[in-house]
Structure 1
């Protein structure tokens, strides 16, 4: 059983209890599957790259961390959920930039600094830190606004890759479409509680597992490191 101050953010949870969110917990297997498929692709290609292995590990860690949060539902498990997600996003962006610049470290640092600056600006304008006046009340977007920087980054990457006809453009485009749909499921979870008792948050997990699988496949197959066959 969970303490009285357990974190209750999603429709499926109705009370304390390790298995009170079975769909939200077990749907995190999608991240483990994505990591295993990516590992298979790396091994089949050969010349395993450290950055790819780190990202695969982070993908699996997302599944584990999210499982812990949807079972223990407390502060430490929330950190276990959030940290791997944003670590994956940050490291994936840096890795893509590094390979897009021909593995030029200086150009990677410069582009990464710009990306960090833009992300900080988006975070600022989409966060509650800029809200003034009375308490805003329940969030109509169910906390999904925090993912706006990821949406913007993926959209920009998609446009650039389509314009340049990059070999990874199909993977990235499908990844963006999947993420937008998954974000919609995350957003409407609480709103649909009265009609769907178990909510829709589990679809966020399933589709995000697919999205991460597509991103990893794009990296492994279409943005290969130097020396890979």
Structure 2
């Protein structure tokens, strides 16, 4: 069993052999997530002032940085255990974001807001049903998140809530990043570095925009403290 967790994984165009530095661009580009998490955490106190930033929002900012750390581990060690860290860190942010959207934007109390997580999972089953798990170079796994982000955008626009335009930009950028991830192997013969590193850079922007939109839509009216 231990050997299975240590089994090497080779999924991306850039990996040209074993070793910690076999995916330099894929590994280094994860610094963008760490910087994005720090940037979001630094900006939120300004957006929420004079109120404190909700703990859940700070945790989401931390999750963005965690994605960078776990993905960086995956693209250096390239083992099954590192791959699971990558997957779990992304899932933690996505489901946490959905729950916070339900709580702060839809105004659903915490005792029920958690239902957003299984609802997102059910949406994923529906969206991915026409595909095989390996389709689009594995990017089919991210289509549910794109669908959810698009639905959130439409909901905000329909209700004329702040942040709708930022959500729309995040969804558009996410669609581009998924497209780039999908062609990583297909373009390998023409571009030895692949495109996965661009997926990292664009997604750092996607998560920053999504958090900005969530803050705008979910902070509510600033109270009059005069």
Shorter-chain TM range is 0.7 to 0.9
Q: Structure 1-normalised TM-score?
A: 0.86
1:134 matched residue in structure 2: none
Q: For residues 54 and 228 of structure 1, do their structure 2 counterparts lie closer, same or farther at Cα, with a shift above 3 Å needed?
A: farther
Closer, same or farther: CA 196–113 of 1 in aligned 2, 3 Å: closer
Gaps of 5+ in 1: 129-138
Question: What corresponds to 1:35 in structure 2?
Answer: 37
The unaligned stretches of length 5 or more in structure 2 are: 1-5
Q: After superposition, where does 1:135-214 map in structure 2 within 5 Å?
A: 139=134, 141-214=136-209
Q: Cα distance 1:228–1:196, how it changes in 2: closer, same or farther (>3 A)?
A: farther
* 1:143 partner SS: helix
Match of 1:6 among 5, 8, 12: 8
**Aligned counterparts of 2:62 and 2:38: Cα–Cα separation in 1:** 10
Q: Distance in 2 between matches of 1:150 and 1:228?
A: 33
**Which structure 2 residues correspond to residues 10-29 of structure 1 after superposition, within 5 A?**
10-29=12-31
Q: Deviation above 3 Å: which 4+ runs of structure 1?
A: 109-116, 120-128, 225-229
Contact 2:167 2:209 in 1 (8 A): yes
Aligned to 1:118, the other structure's residue is in SS state: helix
Aligned partner of residue 222 in structure 1, secondary structure:
helix
- Distance in 2 (CA, whole Å) between partners of 1:204 and 1:109 is 29
Inter-CA distance 164–26: structure 2 relative to 1 (3 Å threshold): same
Structure 2 length-normalised TM: 0.87
Partner of 1:118: 123
Q: Larger deviation: 149-158 or 60-69?
A: 149-158
Q: Which residue number corresponds to residue 213 of structure 2? A: 218
Matched, 1:71 2:76: yes
The answer to whether 1:99 aligns with 2:101 is no
- 1:25 Cα offset (Å): 0.4
User: 1:135 corresponds to which residue?
Assistant: none
**What RMSD in Å do the two structures reach over aligned CA positions?**
2.2
Q: Secondary structure of 1:142's partner? A: helix
Residue 228 and residue 185 in structure 1: after superposition, are their counterparts in 2 closer, same or farther (change >3 A)? farther
Alpha carbons 2:99, 2:115 under 8 Å: kept: no
Q: Shift of residue 108 of structure 1?
A: 2.7
Cα offset, 1:88, TM superposition: 0.3
Choose from 34, 57, 67 the match for 2:62. 57
- Structure number with the bigger relative contact order (C-alpha 8 A, sep ≥ 6) is 1
